[in-house]
Amino acid sequence: SAVISQKPSRDICQRGTSLTIQCQVDSQVTMMFWYRQQPGQSLTLIATANQGSEATYESGFVIDKFPISRPNLTFSTLTVSNMSPEDSSIYLCSVEGGESYTFGSGTRLTVV
């Protein structure tokens, strides 16, 4: 299965600023997925990123708040923009590998 390198692993940010999270995959993949996990909660899909096209966002998530780049088949970034304390969460990327999915190690974001 694929191996994903996700950075940063954690960050503490000031409200009103932006943070870009990167995921690098060791093989080419068609779709990459970005999830948010709020404290004590399950994972919620933010968007699906396909190379060469705009990301597809789930209900409740918008491109202005969570812009995503997918410049090639092994890399994607998620930006959390104009952050507020409510954005404090773990953010994870994921790729499909056969029938199961591989996840990055997560980015723990705290907004103060």
Nearest distance from residue 111's CB to other proteins, in Å? 16
Q: How far apart are the first and last CA of the chain?
A: 37
For 70-80, letters b (16+ CB in 10 Å) and e give: beebbbbbbeb
Nearer to other proteins, 17 or 41 (CB): 41
Positions that interact with other proteins (CB under 8 A): 1, 4, 6, 31, 33, 37, 41-45, 48, 58-59, 90, 92, 94, 96, 99-106, 108
Rounded Cα distance between 63 and 99, Å, is: 28
Nearer to other proteins, 10 or 82 (CB): 10
Nearest distance from residue 45's CB to other proteins, in Å? 6
All residues at 6 or more sequence positions from 27 whose CB lies less than 8 Å from its CB, including other chains: 2, 74
Nearest distance from residue 44's CB to other proteins, in Å? 7
